[in-house]
Structure 1
Amino acid sequence: MLTSSRQCRCCGATFAQLLSLACDRPDMCPEDMPQQDNTAIIAERGDVLTDDFCRIGDLHFLRCVLAVPLIGGDEEEFVLGTWASVSRENFDSYMDLFELRETETLSNCPAWLSNAIPPGMGEPVAGMLHMRPEGQYPELMISETGHPLYPLQKNGAQLEELFDLLYSYGHDMASLVYDA
């Protein structure tokens, strides 16, 4: 895809491959809430945002990935780093095994996509978190067939569709790929 490192014109980041988006917090998490070390989720009461966990009131969130296969891309995937809301029980079970890097022993669990992807999608979207081995973030599979991400995950996406998604976030990746 990209044959050499390129610099994004909008944010200045350097990429050697197709950009993967990452959300630094669930959408409902205030922008001024500081991100803390993961230990804060246990050590502190109330609302907390860490690298991998978030608690806001009675809501519990886990960092996860949402992968979209690239059609004709030799099993390449476009990865969205995002957040999912889960039950307190599933949150606690995941946390118990997180440091041991044994979360794959958990069953898959219902979850809600907690970031507006694509932008402008306001309501949380139902999905299923699939646990992955060796301490990898769980993968969120969208289960609402009417959501724009559902067919992309199920059938894959053309490169142009991914460029459109990235462009909606302000990244002009098409120019990085096609401008030599």
Structure 2
Amino acid sequence: MSLLALDARWRRLQDKFGGVFDIGFDMPDAWPHAEPDDETPEVVAGPDRLAPELCRLGDSRFLHVILPLPIRGAEETLFLAPWAEVAAATFYGYLDHIADGAPFVAAEGKLANDLPLFPGSLSAPVSLQPGGDGARPLLLASDGPLAEAQDAGISFDQLLDLYTATGHDIRPQLSAD
């Protein structure tokens, strides 16, 4: 049993939402064109292109990645899905990985989304690791508050703050009925 099992709000999160749910980012913060939606998951604007896994914006290249954040006192992990700006060689290497299963090698990049609760996260240096069989690359922060959160975990209240900051204020649903 996790320590959070003693928190009634945690139990309600499990009951009402099936547990921790992931937070995704539809595009890098720099994307200036139309936003993707269910009917148009790929957006093309001149030479710029945004697809669910890849983005080309001028001379910049971006990959959709996974950022794991353990939750202190629980056996669950919050997964964020931000974007990382990468070198062209990394971008095209990942495209080869998707297309024909070529190995994806670890690479360096910069975070391309300003993550709530982590000041200065936009453009922070990160490393990308292979994500496993068909999975997006894993993002590992190099230093600062985000790296500390990956190492030590986030609190349940920080999890709720992240949900609120990304448009999912579930605190009212976790209060006593």
Shorter-chain-normalised TM-score: which range?
A: 0.7 to 0.9
Distance, in Å, in 1 between the alignment partners of 2:115 and 2:165 is 10
TM-score, normalised on structure 1? Answer: 0.79
C-alpha separation in 1, matches of 2:171 and 2:41: 35
Give the structure 2 partner of residue 140 of structure 1.
139
Q: Give the equivalent residue in structure 2 for 1:170.
A: 167
Flag structure 1 segments of 5+ consecutive residues without an equivalent. Answer: 6-14
Seq. identity, %: 28
Which residue in the other structure is 1:27 paired with?
A: 29
The 5 Å alignment of 1:117-136 reads 117-118=115-116, 121=120, 123-136=122-135
SS in 2 for 1:25: coil
Q: C-alpha distance in 1, partners of 2:108/2:157?
A: 31
Q: Does the alignment pair 1:86 with 2:83?
A: no
Alignment of 1:49-64 (within 5 A): 49-64=50-65
- Structure 2: tracts of 5 or more residues without a match: 1-9
Aligned-pair RMSD on alpha carbons?
A: 2.5
Question: Are the structure 2 counterparts of residues 45 and 90 from structure 1 closer, same or farther at C-alpha, using a change threshold of 3 Å?
Answer: farther
- Aligned length in residues: 163
Instruction: Write the letter of the residue equivalent to 1:135.
Output: G
**Residues 61 and 179 of structure 1: CA distance in aligned 2, closer, same or farther (over 3 Å):** farther
**TM-score, length basis structure 2:** 0.80
Deviations 1:116-171 (A, max 9, x none): 1027647411100011211011111111x23x322111111111111122222332
Structure-1 residue corresponding to 2:4 = none
